Amino acid sequence: MCGIIGYVGSPTSDNTLEILTDGLSRLEYRGYDSTGVAISNSSLDVYKRRGELTELEDVLPDQSTNGSAGIGHTRWSTHGPPTDENAHPHTDCNETVAVVHNGIIENYQQLRETLEADGHEFDSETDTEIIPHLIEAALERDGDIERAFRYAITMLEGSYAVAAVFSGRDEVYAARNQSPLVVGIGDDGYFLASDIPAFLDYTEDVVYLENGQFAAIRSDSIQISDERGAPVETPVETVDWSTEDTGKSGHERYMLKEIYEQPRALRKCLQGRLRESDGSVSIEAVEDMEKPKQIHVVACGTSYHASLYAARLFRDRGVPSTAFMASEYDVDTIPIDTETLVVGVTQSGETADTLEALREANRVGAETLSVTNVTGSSASRETDRVVYIRAGPEIGVAATKTFAAQLVALAMISITLTNDSAATFVEALRTLPELVQSVLDRSRAKEIATEYADSDAYFFIGRGYNAPAALEGALKTKEITYKHAEGFSAGELKHGPLALVTDKTPVFAVIPRDGNFEKMVGNVKEVEAREAPVIAVTDAAEAVEPLADHVLRIPQTDRRLAPILANVQLQLVSYWIANELGRSIDKPRNLAKSVTVK
């Protein structure tokens, strides 16, 4: 969930500090509560502060230091609150090594007690601080930096991405286990980061580190090795993102930009996968698969809502399917065998709970498929097959365009796996980007959001394919407005939630003209009887307007794609409510973009 940046340039480099702080600024979207950098010269220069990057920049030297190797970090607190002392980098007693770390060290307390008994003194409450002290202890015994770093890593239990810089050395050492690290190969040096946007201004050529691998990065080379120290051949890949993709493109915030990028994201997701000749769909990664006996879809957060949608699609096409929260997926109690397909849906491809579920599925022999946005991510490398949603980089913490692309990718997978072309559905997919654009062009969400920004709470209801859209609408609202929001299947209104409905709790009802239309009308009347404002998201405005206080229109399409259009309206509602309330929309409090801890 934290962000790492590292850089090693030529011995005469004078822009190391600039590169590190620029990288940290590009990692802010991941979520953080403190920042820090360390630069190696004749000693170690370490600067770190609680709060946003601007707090760190206030204490940095006016002139660039002349060190050519450095590391930086944005921390999302796990062990210990956000304080200057708990911010990374952490150093040893002699300040000869500085370390940054993502993940959780499960045996840190035991290691800390042992180190304290040997005379080491600690300044923070973090699990990370044991790492530089382990390195220090190994250096006292041996004196070899690389062996000391390797020794420290072998002592760790848990998930980690670790980077270390040493006083007087123009090099960075790194290792990973279940937390991402990627090396960037530039013209004027080498980069290390937890995510590609950190160094995208400088290079598009990358090497992905695998679990258990070590990297020694110097100004003129990188050496990657396995746990035993044996060299590893790693392919260099070129990413297809640009710095323009990771900018705001004239929008005030990333989230708004990404909401408006959805037509483009869907076109990229569909490109080359819809066959003009016969109106069918081809997802190359799965087209040679036989129809599975059953499908389990595992995910977290927004991706879990996409999984609920996918499971219904698969069931409607004749394959028994269930969506599971990845953190609750237990292969020892859930029926699973070699004829089960386990689909992991994860935007980043690094979501810890989803990766653990996929690994457990691999362990028991099930076939695994990842649906992700990030080429080279852990999920893409650790599953039997991978389908990329091609949404492009998403910087805002609250997922928007990736959710829409996930739904479309999963819809195409369902067609391919079941060999059910359904030409009318394929045609609806083809026109979907245009329909999304029409929603964006005509939405009244801002006007409605202004009217209801001071509400006590918000409720979102839907049925069938639209129930996941209701859940997602509520999640977006609570993520960025910090107000209570709840989404549920509309049929559950009378089983408890109606007790909370008042004239201060607007209800957003996703009510397209489908087989559940009349039932949804009944649910809306239940709400009306309690004097709650009703905002209907519908393609049947004329029929619904007499029942609702406001209508957010969506164009008609295949009933299975209506929730994608409805979701665009709900994204805009949540955005404009948060804007009205003055919230930190791109970086909501306590949240992170890539959740790499369990």
- With residues binned 3-state (H G I as helix, E B as strand, rest as coil), the percentages for the chain, rounded to 5, are 35, 25, 40
pLDDT at 468: 97
Sorting pLDDT into bands at 50, 70 and 90, what band is 252? confident
C-beta of residue 578 within 8 angstroms of C-beta of residue 481: yes
Q: Does the pLDDT value for residue 247 go beyond 60?
A: yes
Q: Is 519 a catalytic residue?
A: no
Look up the CATH superfamily of 241-441: Glucose-6-phosphate isomerase like protein; domain 1 (3.40.50.10490)
Residue-wise pLDDT tens digits, 69-117:
999 999 877 888 889 999 999 999 999 999 999 888 989 999 999 999 9
CATH 3.40.50.1980 fits 3-238, yes or no: no
Residue-wise pLDDT tens digits, 317-353:
999 999 999 999 999 899 999 999 999 999 989 898 9
**Phi and psi, residue 56, nearest 5°:** -70, -45
C-beta of residue 79 within 8 angstroms of C-beta of residue 126: yes
Q: How is the chain split into domains, by residue range?
A: 3-238, 241-441, 443-584
- The strand ranges marked E within 51-148 are 69-75, 90-91, 97-105
C-beta of residue 67 within 8 angstroms of C-beta of residue 15: no
Q: How far apart are the first and last CA of the chain?
A: 10
Q: Which of 93, 268, 593, 598 is catalytic?
A: 593
Residue-wise pLDDT tens digits, 6-44:
999 987 777 899 999 999 988 876 667 899 999 998 889
pLDDT at 138: 95
DSSP string for residues in 212-275 = T-EEEEETTEEEEE-TTS-B-----EE----TTTTS-TT-SSHHHHHHHTHHHHHHHHHTTTEE
Largest CA distance in the chain: 80
Return d(Cα 514, Cα 445) in angstroms, integer: 23
What fold characterizes domain 443-584? Rossmann fold (3.40.50)
Instruction: Label the pairing between strands 34-40 and 69-75.
Output: antiparallel
* Distances in whole angstroms, Cα of residue 124 to Cα of each of 40, 82, 127, 128, 239: 22, 11, 9, 9, 38
Q: Which of 2, 401, 476, 483 is catalytic?
A: 2
C-beta of residue 386 within 8 angstroms of C-beta of residue 250: no
Residue-wise pLDDT tens digits, 156-191:
998 889 999 999 999 999 999 878 899 999 888 999
Amino acid at 142: D
C-beta of residue 400 within 8 angstroms of C-beta of residue 569: no
Residue count of the chain: 598
Q: Is 519 helix (H, G, I), strand (E, B) or coil?
A: helix
Over the chain, what is the mean pLDDT?
Answer: 90
pLDDT at 99: 96
241-441 and 443-584 share one fold? yes
Return d(Cα 63, Cα 504) in angstroms, integer: 55
Return d(Cα 294, Cα 340) in angstroms, integer: 5
Q: Is 300 a catalytic residue?
A: no
Residues 6+ apart with CB under 8 A from 560: 313, 316, 411, 425, 428, 465
